Structure 1
């Protein structure tokens, strides 16, 4: 049993003010694998106070020195990548090979992109409109509270901690209590990189406790949160009383528009993308809308691809999906699959219960529904599991209307060989991101959505700007 009851506050590991043990469950076995402590208000206050004290010094540190610190952090992260992969695989069920490649790799990718963006970032520059002495300065927001989820632990931690460091902010990180081990390890990396005491602090806790305490704390200037839309609304309401900046990256219900000129590879790619990380990705393409001439073929391919996806424990090597994170998620997904069946969707792969041969662990059968209609629950609600819904469309206008008929707006997808159509749809789809023909976002491109998906823009220079105040200066002397 791993014991990690301490928090990282003011550059040291300290015990909780009031011990409150919380078991971390291995989702492959349903057994406790670690114990942490959940913080209370005294722990949160101590962390915020440390960040507040460290703020002036870190803000005054030259940007080049902050960048050098982040470069050291990247080197340490890379040198200890195997430890990080093992931690994430254990805590949230990512298959170990997937954890090594994608889960760890996401952190490396984001840190590298931030380093590149910071090298070109103009912290102080002329307005550029011909007005003498008019300058624009980017300055740190101040103390920031960072609340991260369990599904892509280092993806989200690096998207928040690194730009905050580069911007000159000090911070308190509250990782998900479901997957805290990777963040505790990351705190070791931060310490080893020489980040000054108080600049980075970590307090474990739940949303109702430490999450709310950060959201309402008068000395916290900004909250950056990734998680459910429901929790995002609660954080916005809690933060309103102190007029904090609130940056939210929330849920999604991505539509994948597959036109008749797409090939079989595009369909198979869409299925695998939906099932990736056991379906626990907010940008997953969970609604596949297929032009009618290709529809029957698409359903057949989707069923075959889903049936071929292997499900196995997280520590097993190879290409497979693992469990979902906990019993609550397992029960929710099972309930939604049952609802899909009751509402008349045609089940063509997967279904209720665990996959064959797995009688323990939070494992879900890769599931595909066909003949779904827009009003069905599985087409409206974010399932956050390996469940794909497919329906036909007849016209481009109909496809866009169905895709946009959701409160979410994170990522939509287009599969077509018609370049003019792709460009047209990229502008018509209401989402923060559109990916076409399997082309991933560019390095340093912003990640974020609109409407119920939140309006954060994380990554690259946009991610750094989120942690900055923009100051307008006149009368600057040359």
Structure 2
């Protein structure tokens, strides 16, 4: 019998979505759209299509709150006291938020509640950035010469009105990574979740709406590409922070150019994992890398290492253990504890991934396993069996373009210099990792790879360390103090001490 999420939807009492603008929830009299669950392609609810009109209302509210309201000028202690309760409210509601995130994108509930995209992780992110509020400071500079008796000092001021445009794969975590630092720095915010994943974000909005924030400081609009385009090009927006595809990132960059908006863009990746023969465990490397592509979000994570650059001498061992890992994969009801993997977010994306698989075979890559679309109880969902390609060349399409699905491409190498060259021959530079038992080699190769983040014998991210990309993988960093810098402007003031 095909799985259905309608009973869980009804048990969670999912209502039609509204907009949150200027401190008020607003029923929308304009167009609406359906949110579809990728596991079953059932309708979960309808959402307001804010479009240009809704965006104009939200930006106007945020603009007033920044230009005329108390928020940007509030004392650090007062702002911190007002925001800090949000952390505990998220912790208190974490199970419900996790359920809503699973009802958004199909991530297995066990991951939605206990992983780096969980509500608990989001609460930690809020806690981290709220801790910066009374520590955002400038500098003073020594007198430079006898030419003038002038004292220079700098101040960090909020960047202004922020448009936060979220992806579908980790809506809860990315909400926190964008909203928390913006509020901590004294900015006002307009959030737009992905059109595929609105439920958890709207619940988080309810939590923030319970706070005593001045009207207009925090706003949420829902909608598709029209709303996103209206936000990124709006004259009232000072900064856009976006996580998503490079194609959309390029459009945002062009739309922002005329007004010189500040940008933080975390875009795509084609990350490389280099596996040397002296790795402490080739089996562990293979299991982890194949697991990142086959479980959790099924490769729909921009930092996932989707190119495994493996030394020829351990190639057979790597392929064997990758195949063993896939035997543990289980599709099904995302609320079933046995389910390990998310579906593909939409039918369109599913078809795109299947096209990449066909291209890989046509260009000569060796399909070791995977690529089928399960039938039976899963026939109504967007499922693809995890794929492993061997003997991939770095000039093949599947090694060059971001597939954003359960596909791992394995590229052989013979020498360290060759592995580094293969890793760097990419338009992307977001993340990557090196598996080796040699500390000198680990450090040498990690420094040589052109990427924003590199892991040694694994890869992870935390709220207080920066992450971001180079090349087509984006602009700026999220995490730690660099994020505070990204949401503030540096002002220099000089005092002539001679009067």
2:22 is the alignment partner of 1:10: yes
Scaled by the length of structure 1, what TM-score is found?
A: 0.95
Alpha-carbon contact 2:55-2:230 (below 8 Å) kept: yes
Q: Which residue of 2 aligns with 1:163?
A: 181
Residues of 1 paired with 2:369 and 2:376: CA distance? 13
Residue 378 of structure 1: CA displacement?
A: 1.1
Alpha-carbon contact 2:138-2:154 (below 8 Å) kept: yes
Q: Which residue of 2 aligns with 1:54?
A: 65
Residues of 2 paired with 1:5 and 1:274: CA distance? 32
Q: Which residue of 2 aligns with 1:395?
A: 415
Cα RMSD between the aligned structures?
A: 1.8
Residue 439 of structure 1: CA displacement?
A: 5.1
**1:314-329 mapped onto 2 (5 Å cutoff):** 314-318=334-338, 320-329=340-349
Residue 177 of structure 1: CA displacement?
A: 0.9
Q: Which residue of 2 aligns with 1:367?
A: 387
Residues of 2 paired with 1:137 and 1:389: CA distance? 48
Query: Which consecutive residues of structure 1, in runs of 5 or more, have no partner in the other structure?
Result: none
Alpha-carbon contact 2:143-2:151 (below 8 Å) kept: no
Task: Provide Cα deviations, 1:295-335, integer angstroms capped at 9, x if missing partner.
Answer: 11111111221232222221212351121111111111111
Alpha-carbon contact 1:338-1:352 (below 8 Å) kept: no
Residues of 2 paired with 1:109 and 1:405: CA distance? 36
Q: Tell me: CA distance 1:422–1:356, structure 2 relative to 1, closer, same or farther (3 Å).
A: farther
2:431 is the alignment partner of 1:418: no
2:287 is the alignment partner of 1:272: no
Aligned partner (choices 60, 67, 70) of residue 80 of structure 2:
67
2:130 is the alignment partner of 1:110: no
Residue 433 of structure 1: CA displacement?
A: 0.5
Residues of 2 paired with 1:193 and 1:106: CA distance? 20
Residue 385 of structure 1: CA displacement?
A: 0.8
Residues of 2 paired with 1:55 and 1:446: CA distance? 27
Alpha-carbon contact 1:10-1:197 (below 8 Å) kept: yes
Residues of 1 paired with 2:476 and 2:348: CA distance? 27
Residue 158 of structure 1: CA displacement?
A: 0.7
Alpha-carbon contact 1:346-1:372 (below 8 Å) kept: yes
Query: Could you tell which deviates more after superposition, 359-368 or 155-164?
Result: 359-368
Query: Could you tell which deviates more after superposition, 375-384 or 350-359?
Result: 350-359
Query: Could you tell which deviates more after superposition, 271-280 or 329-338?
Result: 271-280
Residues of 1 paired with 2:459 and 2:143: CA distance? 37
2:50 is the alignment partner of 1:30: no
Aligned partner (choices 92, 95, 100) of residue 82 of structure 1:
95
Q: How many residues in Structure 1 have an aligned counterpart in Structure 2?
A: 474
Alpha-carbon contact 2:177-2:479 (below 8 Å) kept: yes
Query: Could you tell which deviates more after superposition, 306-315 or 3-12?
Result: 306-315
Query: Which consecutive residues of structure 2, in runs of 5 or more, have no partner in the other structure?
Result: 1-9
Alpha-carbon contact 2:293-2:386 (below 8 Å) kept: no
Residue 352 of structure 1: CA displacement?
A: 2.6
Residues of 1 paired with 2:377 and 2:142: CA distance? 66
Aligned partner (choices 110, 122, 133) of residue 136 of structure 2:
122
Query: Could you tell which deviates more after superposition, 63-72 or 332-341?
Result: 63-72
Aligned partner (choices 276, 290, 311) of residue 291 of structure 1:
311
Alpha-carbon contact 1:355-1:365 (below 8 Å) kept: no
Q: Tell me: CA distance 1:187–1:127, structure 2 relative to 1, closer, same or farther (3 Å).
A: farther
Secondary structure of the 2:454 match is strand
Secondary structure of the 1:278 match is coil
